[in-house]
Amino acid sequence: MNVELDQIQLPTYPSGSYNFIRRLRNEAVPKSSPSYGECKRDETSNPINNENQLIFPVKLNITIIGAGVGGLSTAIALKREGHSVTVYEQALALSEVGAGIQIPPNSSRILHSWGLKAALERRSIKPTSILWRRWQDGSTIGNARLNPELEEEFGSPYYVTHRAHLHDALHERVRGLGVPVRLGKRVEGYEVDDGVVRFSDREVVKTDLVIAADGIKSFARKLLNGERDKGPYGHGLAVYRATVSMDDIRADPLLKWIADSPALNLWLGHNLHVMSYAIAGGERYNLVLTHPTLPNQIQNISSADILNEMRSSYDGWDPVLKRLLDLVNHALEWPIHAVDIPERWASNSGKLVLIGDSAHAMAPYMALGAAMAVEDAAAMAAALNRLGSRGELGDVISKWTAVRKRRVTQVHQASFGHGLILHLPDGPVQRARDEALKAELGEGAITESPNQWNDPTVREWVYAYRPDVDINESF
Ligand SMILES: Cc1cc2nc3c(=O)[nH]c(=O)nc-3n(C[C@H](O)[C@H](O)[C@H](O)COP(=O)(O)OP(=O)(O)OC[C@H]3O[C@@H](n4cnc5c(N)ncnc54)[C@H](O)[C@@H]3O)c2cc1C
C-alpha cells in the first residue's frame, strides 16, 4: 500500500474517511456523499422477514459445499424458505480457530432474523466502542462508538464473540432446521452446468443448485474462472492470533483496567496494528496482531519462534501492550490473503454459484468478510423467492450475482482502504489523520472521520444495508 501523499488513491465507495487527505493535498472536499442511497436501507419493514415477501412456489433441491460461516448461513437462509438443503464439508469434524470475530449490525440483523439472537446474546459481548491508541504510549487518538449507538441507529447491535461460538450457534440452528451436514466429504469435481458434484469417495450428487462456499482457496472459483483466477494473494502482512485469560489480566495492576472496560482497544503503528477485545462471555481476551511478513515465512517457524518474533515486533510499543504479550502462551501466525473479485461467480445455467470467501475473500481491516457471507446468504434466499420456474434459475442467479458483486467490490475496496489508514507511518499524513480523529474524542456529533468504523457515511452505507431490499429492487 502506497502511503506517499500524492500516490494515495481516493476510494469510490461512500466515505468521508479520506477527506483529511483531500485537505492535505488542497483538493476540494465533497459536501456530502452522493452514494448514500446505495445503502438500501428499508425503513418500513424491519427486521428482515423473507416470509412476508412475494413467494413463488418453486422449491429446489440444493447442495452446499463447505460448512464455514458462509455455508452454514446459506443453509439456514434457504431451508427457512422451504428448499431442501444438504451441506457437505471436507473436514472430519467442525471446528473454528480459537480467535475472535466481530459481528457488525448488517450481519447481526440477519442472524437475529434467523433465530440466533438468544445464542448471540448469551455468549457475545456488546462493546461500547473501539478506542484507537497511539502505538508508543497507548494514548487515545480515536473513538468509534458502537453500542448502544449502532443499535439505536441501525436496529441491531455490534457484537464481538468467539469464532467457535458463532460457528456453534449457526450449526445448532442448521441442525434444528433438520439440514444434514455430511462431514469428510471432499469435492473433487463439478459438472458446472448440470448441478453435479463428485466427491473423493466416488459419491456423485446431482441437485437443482450447487452453492460452493468452499473458502478462499475455492476449487469451484478456479473451475469457473480458469487461468483468470490468480488465487489468494498477500500484500506483505500477516497476523498473529492469540487469546489471554481474563483472570491473568485482572490479576495484573497494569492491565486490570482492560478487564473493567467494555471497549475494544486498537493500537496503531506503521504497518502494524493490534486489535483486541473480550470474547467467550468475557473469559478470554482476543488479540489480532497485524505485522509485515515475507512470502512463505509462516510455514517454516516453530511455535516458540512465533512467540519471540511476536514480542520483538512490538519493541518500543506501549508498556500495556508489551505486558499483554508477555501473558500469551500460544499464538498462531496467519497470512492476510485476499482474492480479486472473480469475473465469473456462476455457471451459465446458474446451477453452480460461489458464496462467501470463495467469491470475495478480503483483507480483514474492517472485520466484514464473514458479514458479507451472511449478507450473500440472505440475498440468495430473497433471490430464490423470485424463481417462477426452474428454467429461470440462470436469470435469477445472474441478478443475485450482479447485486452481490456491486456490494462486495466496494466493501473489498473499503477493507484495503482502511488498512492504509490504520498503518500510516509517523509523519505528515499520520499527523493529519490524528488531528482529524480528534473530533471523535469530544461529545459532539461527528460529520466525518478517517476512522471508517465511525465515519457516518461509511456507517450508513455498511451497517444500514439490507440485502433483501437490494435484491427485490433488482427484479
Ligand atoms: C485475521 C482475520 C480476522 C477476521 N475477522 C473478521 C471479523 O472480525 N468479522 C468478519 O465478518 N470477518 C472476519 N474475517 C473474515 C472471515 O473469517 C471470513 O470471511 C469467513 O470466515 C469466510 O467464511 P466462508 O464460509 O466463506 O469460508 P471458510 O470459513 O474458509 O469455509 C470454507 C469451508 O469449505 C470447506 N471446503 C473447502 N474446500 C472444500 C472441498 N473441496 N470439499 C468440501 N469442503 C471444502 C473448508 O473445509 C471450510 O470448512 C477475518 C479474517 C481474518 C483472516
Give the binding-site residues of ligand 1, using a 6 Å CB cut-off. 65-71, 88-91, 101-102, 186-187, 213-216, 219, 239, 288, 334, 356-357, 364, 367-371, 373
Distance CA 39, CA 324 (A): 39
CA of 71 to the centre of ligand 1 (A): 9
Nine cell digits for residue 312: 520483538
Which residue in 416, 370, 400 sits closest to 111, CA to CA? Answer: 370
Q: What is the mean pLDDT of residues 263-286?
A: 92
CA of 314 to the centre of ligand 1 (A): 28
CA of 142 to the centre of ligand 1 (A): 30
Nearest ligand 1 atom to the CA of 370 is 11
Provide the pLDDT for residue 1.
59
Q: What is the mean pLDDT of residues 403-421?
A: 96
Distance CA 277, CA 159 (A): 11
Q: What is the pLDDT of residues 138-159, one digit of tens each?
A: 999 999 999 999 999 999 999 9
Provide the pLDDT for residue 95.
80
Query: Percent of the chain scored above 90 by pLDDT?
Result: 83
CA of 225 to the centre of ligand 1 (A): 20
Using alpha carbons, list the distances in angstroms from residue 257 to 116, 260, 261, 262, 358.
31, 5, 6, 10, 40
Nine cell digits for residue 424: 500510516
Tell me which residue has its CA closest to atom 17 in ligand 1: 370
Distance CA 236, CA 216 (A): 17
Provide the pLDDT for residue 42.
66
Higher-pLDDT residue of 96 and 272 is 272
Using alpha carbons, list the distances in angstroms from residue 357 to 54, 75, 101, 114, 222.
29, 16, 15, 21, 13
Distance CA 15, CA 155 (A): 21
72, 101, 217, best to mutate for ligand 1 pocket (most atoms within 8 Å of CB): 101
User: Above 70 in pLDDT, residue 2?
Assistant: no
User: Above 90 in pLDDT, residue 51?
Assistant: no
Nearest ligand 1 atom to the CA of 373 is 26
Provide the pLDDT for residue 47.
46
Q: What are phi and psi of 114, to 5 degrees?
A: -90, 5
Mean pLDDT of the chain: 92
CA of 23 to the centre of ligand 1 (A): 38
Distance CA 164, CA 107 (A): 17
Beta carbons within 8 Å of 237's beta carbon, 6+ residues apart? 271, 290, 291, 292, 293, 336, 419
Query: Percent of the chain scored above 70 by pLDDT?
Result: 93
User: Above 90 in pLDDT, residue 456?
Assistant: yes
CA of 26 to the centre of ligand 1 (A): 41
Q: What b/e readout covers 289-306, taking b as 16+ CB neighbours within 10 angstroms?
A: bbbebeeeeeeeeeeeeb
Provide the pLDDT for residue 48.
53
160 neighbors 174 (Cβ within 8 angstroms): no
Provide the pLDDT for residue 293.
86
User: Above 90 in pLDDT, residue 394?
Assistant: yes
Distance CA 25, CA 6 (A): 7
Q: What is the pLDDT of residues 173-209, one digit of tens each?
A: 999 999 999 999 999 999 999 999 999 999 999 999 9
Tell me which residue has its CA closest to atom 20 in ligand 1: 370
Nearest ligand 1 atom to the CA of 72 is 25
Which residue in 37, 39, 74 sits closest to 358, CA to CA? Answer: 74
Provide the pLDDT for residue 286.
93
Q: What is the mean pLDDT of residues 467-475?
A: 96
130 neighbors 145 (Cβ within 8 angstroms): no
CA of 18 to the centre of ligand 1 (A): 29
Provide the pLDDT for residue 271.
85
Beta carbons within 8 Å of 381's beta carbon, 6+ residues apart? 50, 77, 78, 80, 81, 468
Provide the pLDDT for residue 46.
46
Which residue in 268, 326, 295 sits closest to 134, CA to CA? Answer: 268
Confidence of residue 45 (pLDDT cuts 50, 70, 90): very low
Which residue in 127, 131, 138 sits closest to 103, CA to CA? Answer: 127
Q: What is the mean pLDDT of residues 268-277?
A: 94
Give the range among 113-122, 188-197, 281-290, 349-358 with minimum mean pLDDT. 281-290
Provide the pLDDT for residue 54.
57
Using alpha carbons, list the distances in angstroms from residue 81 to 27, 55, 310, 381, 383.
50, 9, 47, 7, 11
Beta carbons within 8 Å of 22's beta carbon, 6+ residues apart? 10, 28, 29
Identify the three-state secondary structure at position 159: strand
Distance CA 429, CA 145 (A): 24
For the chain, how are helix, strand and coil distributed in percent, rounded to 5? 40, 20, 40
Distance CA 359, CA 214 (A): 9
Nearest ligand 1 atom to the CA of 107 is 11
User: Above 80 in pLDDT, residue 37?
Assistant: no
Q: What is the pLDDT of residues 200-257, one digit of tens each?
A: 999 999 999 999 999 999 999 999 999 999 999 998 999 999 999 999 999 999 999 9
Q: What is the pLDDT of residues 97-120, one digit of tens each?
A: 768 899 999 999 999 999 999 999
CA of 70 to the centre of ligand 1 (A): 7
Nearest ligand 1 atom to the CA of 199 is 42
Q: What is the pLDDT of residues 433-453, one digit of tens each?
A: 999 999 999 988 899 999 999
Distance CA 127, CA 262 (A): 5
DSSP assignment of 418-437: HHHHHTPPTTHHHHHHHHHH
Q: What is the pLDDT of residues 292-342, one digit of tens each?
A: 987 666 566 778 889 999 999 999 999 999 999 999 999 998 889 999 999
Provide the pLDDT for residue 137.
97
Tell me which residue has its CA closest to atom 41 in ligand 1: 187
Against a cut of 0.75, is the pTM above it? yes
